């Protein structure tokens, strides 16, 4: 399975990549493709030293759009506040099959202390408009 982790250069993305590469091909997505490639190389070296020949997957890096293009599963490993801007920048063509997951809570606290929730359909509309 091909898994793309958007925001994969952060600590949470690294943890996901290192666990899932045992059986899956992972693409680290970042605004900066070079940063993603550098992180992917580091993660791959760590995974190889941990799993050796038991590893079936690979880890590579790319920009957001490229990393998500061929994925079966798209993980958003970004802060809630970045979801709209990131999704707007990706604007993917509608695909017949894509699983979208968020590692971030779908809510945030406002300055007044109220909790605001976002509906998954709002996120999907950002991606596929």
Nearest residue to 86 via CA among 26, 31, 129: 31
pLDDT confidence of residue 129: 41
pLDDT band at 82 (very low <50, low <70, confident <90, very high): confident
pLDDT band at 122 (very low <50, low <70, confident <90, very high): low
* Cβ-based neighbours of 9, under 8 Å, separated by 6 or more: 28, 30, 35, 36, 39
DSSP state of 54: G
Angle at 127 between CA 122 and CA 129, to 5 degrees: 90
Rg (CA), the chain: 15
Ranges of each domain in the chain: 2-127
In three-state secondary structure terms, 11 is helix
pLDDT band at 128 (very low <50, low <70, confident <90, very high): very low
pTM for the whole structure: 0.75
* Cβ-based neighbours of 83, under 8 Å, separated by 6 or more: 76, 102, 104, 118, 123, 126
Beta bridge partners of 3: 26, 73
| Options 2.60.120.1440, 3.40.50.720, 3.30.420.10, 3.40.50.150; CATH of 2-127 | 3.40.50.720
């Amino acid at each position: 399975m091909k898994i793309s982790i958007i925001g994969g250069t952060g600590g949470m993305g690294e943890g996901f990549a290192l666990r899932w590469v045992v059986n899956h091909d992972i693409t680290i997505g970042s605004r900066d493709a070079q940063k993603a490639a550098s992180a992917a190389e580091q993660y791959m070296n760590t995974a190889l030293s941990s799993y050796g020949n038991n590893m079936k997957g690979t880890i590579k890096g790319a920009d957001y759009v490229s990393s998500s293009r061929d994925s079966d599963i798209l993980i958003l490993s970004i802060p809630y506040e970045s979801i709209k801007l990131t999704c707007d920048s990706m604007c993917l063509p509608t695909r017949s099959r894509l699983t979208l997951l968020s590692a971030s809570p779908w809510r945030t606290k406002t300055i007044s202390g109220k909790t605001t929730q976002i509906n998954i359909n709002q996120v999907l509309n950002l991606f596929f408009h």
